[in-house]
Chain A
Amino acid sequence: MIPDAHIPRGDLGDKWDNCLDSLHLLSPANKRNRSVIVVGTGLAGASAAATMSELGYRVDAFTFHDSPRRAHSIAAQGGINASKNYPNDGDSHYRLFIDTIKGGDFRSREANVYRLAQISGNIIDQCVAQGVPFAREYGGYLDNRSFGGALVSRTFYAKGQTGQQLLLGAYGAMNRQIHQGGVRLHTRSEMLELVLKEGRACGIITRNLVTGRIRRHMADAVVLATGGYSNIFHRSTNAFGCNVTAIYRAYKRGALFANPCFTQIHPTCIPVLHEHQSKLTLMSESLRNHGRLWVPKQVDDPREPRNIPEVERDYFLERKYPAYGNLSPRDISSRTVKEVCDEGRGVGAMKHSVYLDFQSAIEEHGLDFIEQRYGNLFDMYRHICNEDPYLRPMKIYPAAHYTMGGLWVDYHLMSNIPGLFVIGEANFSDHGANRLGASALMQGLADGYFILPQTIGHYFAEADAQPLALDDEVFDAAEQDATRRINRLLAVAGGQTVASLHRQLGDIMWHHCGMSRSEQDLCSAIDQIQELRDEFWKSVNVTGTSRDLNQTLEYAGRVADFMEFAELMCRDALAREESCGAHFREEYQNKAEARRDDERFSHVAAWAYRGEALPERFEEKLAFECARLMERDYR
């Protein structure tokens, strides 16, 4: 069963205040007696660890990276939304809320999303105070730009390195707490198991990636801030280490997994150029402020892009969605790119790209202007593709990018397991079935700086500290599970590399559970995944030992979890017999536009692990009191 989501009473605009007013408080002395484990030190985890330590809690923070500053958040490019309305273009909390709810195709909670909008401005204040060098105008005030799915400019940015600058800010805040002794940092430590005592989260098991040592850690609460799982598709825009392990293992211990099939495919990425390519690099959505997407009108047009006259070009987003044009939301843009490529009008050697063209912007604003805004992105493109985007349009194609699905949490960001909190991309979050650009950074930092540090105190005030020791049998059992699994991976000694098995899984997922899904494809995918999983456990080859740095073993553990989790993703996609946001079921469409079924599916699907049996699906009904349910129309 899904527990109550604890949505506070009152008008939408009052709910967060009402929640804060009703939270039980802990005295400063009691806070010092409470300990928290934070797994993950990206934007969500670092901001949470720092803030909770400032409040007086004793924090242990864990990351598998060698430094918190390497978390995948560092790679976020384009920007972070906030309804500051600095440009005076009519923005408000309400508008940011509506855009985000609508962008998510009405599959997220109103109360959460409104809170996000309310907090968004505080995040910018906090980050600026920390020294985040956001872009400024000549007058010295902060500059904004536009992102997809919005008609106002509300995105704050630091060139194409917004995530880097925000993460350095949160890392600094955490460093200050480390210096003061409030946070103990455990780097190169991978969480392998969640530990529960009498149904409550009380600790974790980690493996030190350098020494191989398995360790037990206990605390009064556990926070997972372990990011997203787009790497299930093998190639994605994510960093290599991104994985599902922490949240999947928590799921196997009883945490509900919400909307696992809601995965975002980003429209503008550098496509696959050769078979051994390991990564699909994102070209930030911000580029669509000035770049225009087009393909030739004619199928198989062999001409150089610059030799194709205007009238023979199809600016397909501008044509199909004139109101939002090139800034249409990601799900819709990706599908349209796929559509024109499937029609045979794709460009590039493999005919599977479209142009992202800056010619008109350069003519209008000049080279300097474009260089100022997008210089590092253009450099990145040039490095990879060996072509100069100032002279020739970029060639781009959609790629797996972000996962809206994640562990189910209530309004307090607590999962159904008491004492287990989940923040950032790892929770099922506020983005519904499709995330709007520049809103993941906003959500991760809202969770970490402003929400969790408040709500966690309520849990402590309600739940008495439990006496527990590291030699408790619950730790014995969890440690044994972790060790057994490692030994099992090492014992297979088969003939296939982890990478090749991961590639095969990615292929299945991309073709059957990617941009477009159908009952037939999903059923076939489930069969194939089961076969591949058996194959994995028969034929994976993990060299080396468990007693030192063994990157093959780390990778194998993560892929093993993907092998199981992939099936859950497909089952969720199968059960959701509608199209909404990024989840496009071919059976449910109106002329290639997604067709939602609000009667049957206006809910969050949350899955419970049932061991050998099939997982069980629960529903949390979504009520819309303020946002009017409507067909998303960006035309």
Chain B
Amino acid sequence: MNLVLRIWRQASAEVEGRFEDYPVSGISTDYSFLEVLDRINEDLVSQNQEPVAYEMDCREGICGSCSLMINGTPHGPRPATTTCQLYMRHFHDGQTITVEPWLSRATPVIKDLVVDRSALDRIMQSAGYISVHTGEAPDANTIPVSKSRADKAFVAASCIGCGACIAACPNASAMLFVAAKVTHLSLLPQGEPERSHRVRAMVVAMDREGFGNCSNHYECAKACPKSIPVSLIARLNREFQHAGLLGHEYGGPIHHAAHEE
């Protein structure tokens, strides 16, 4: 195949960005999308030009590093697929493909297609865990968990923290991500004691990071490579309201965690 990739280039957050066109030829349909970017980058380096910065690591859809707005859709046109798992057989010869970073107020650009998603980590640091010291745990089979509950928790827990939901949302809301995390832990009996503190702290942290509100566009779930169900957002809202009714029964102040460079 012969293609043109129209890629957003921006040297740093401080300078203006622009699109550049990069024609590539001789691409096999078995190439992955990132392998096409690799080709472009190798060519650029050979011409002594700076390659396009973009993030990836596992290339098997699990680490959540890869991103990219491909023709206006986070992770490209295929449902339930990360960019690293996207293959060129889903494009056609001669196509021009636009590639942009995932921009939002809470996820600023670092360079080219790389954005800063550390806001998601800060939300997790606020309370996205079960508080148990190493060594405190009882035997694993002490608490049976029904298979259906465990399976539901697993579905929520399979979120890879990529941020596609935010990129897809017209309000740049992180509700689906937070909903997935809250659901995972609140469905399990182990997560019960901190349930209401957790949801409150995480929602507060989310707001503090500057993510937008949810106004039911459901674009997040469409973009999610792990098919996290949109129904979890309703569950998050219920959990939050319930926690609000209970008041501050648990824990100290909700404060901002140190996050070094």
The chain A residues found within 8 Å of chain B, CB to CB, are 47, 50-51, 54, 65-72, 74-75, 84, 86, 121-122, 124-131, 133-142, 158-159, 161, 163-165, 168, 171-173, 175-176, 178-179, 181, 184-189, 208, 210-211, 239-241, 273-274, 276-279, 281-282, 380, 383-384, 386, 449-450, 453, 493, 495, 497-500, 541, 543-544, 548-549, 551-552
Contact = CB atoms under 8 A, between A and B. Distances in A.
B153 A133 contact: yes
A276 B257 contact: no
A471 B34 CA distance: 43
B128 A172 contact: yes
Interface of B is mostly: loop
Contacts of B191: 131
A69 B140 contact: no
A278 B34 contact: yes
A58 to B, nearest CB: 12
22 contacts: A47-B134, A66-B65, A67-B118, A74-B63, A75-B63, A125-B137, A131-B185, A135-B150, A136-B145, A140-B144, A140-B145, A164-B160, A175-B121, A175-B125, A185-B258, A187-B260, A208-B261, A279-B60, A380-B61, A384-B85, A543-B44, A543-B51
Contacts of A163: 62
B185 to A, nearest CB: 5
A133 B132 contact: no
Contacts of B118: 66-67, 187
A386 B260 CA distance: 43
Contact of B28 (A139, A274, A380, A500): A274
Contact of A140 (B50, B146, B154, B161): B146
Interface string B175-200: 00000000011001011000000000
A233 to B, nearest CB: 15
Contacts of B85: 380, 383-384
A131 B130 contact: yes
Contact of A179 (B38, B60, B114, B257): B257
Contacts of B190: 128-131
Interface of B: 11-12, 28, 30-32, 34-35, 38-39, 42, 44-46, 48-51, 53, 55-65, 81, 85, 87, 89, 110-111, 114, 116-118, 120-121, 124-141, 143-147, 150-151, 153-154, 157-158, 160-161, 184-185, 188, 190-191, 257-261
B44 to A, nearest CB: 8
Given A278-B32, A497-B42, A138 B129 contact: no
A380 B143 CA distance: 33
Contacts of B65: 65-66, 70
A210 B161 CA distance: 20
Interface of A is mostly: mixed
B117 A549 contact: no
Nearest to A86: B141
Contacts of A54: 133-134
Contacts of A141: 141, 144
A259 B62 CA distance: 30
Contacts of A211: 261
Contacts of A50: 134
Given A187-B261, A497-B42, A549 B110 contact: yes
B129 A175 contact: yes
Contacts of A139: 144
A131 B42 contact: no
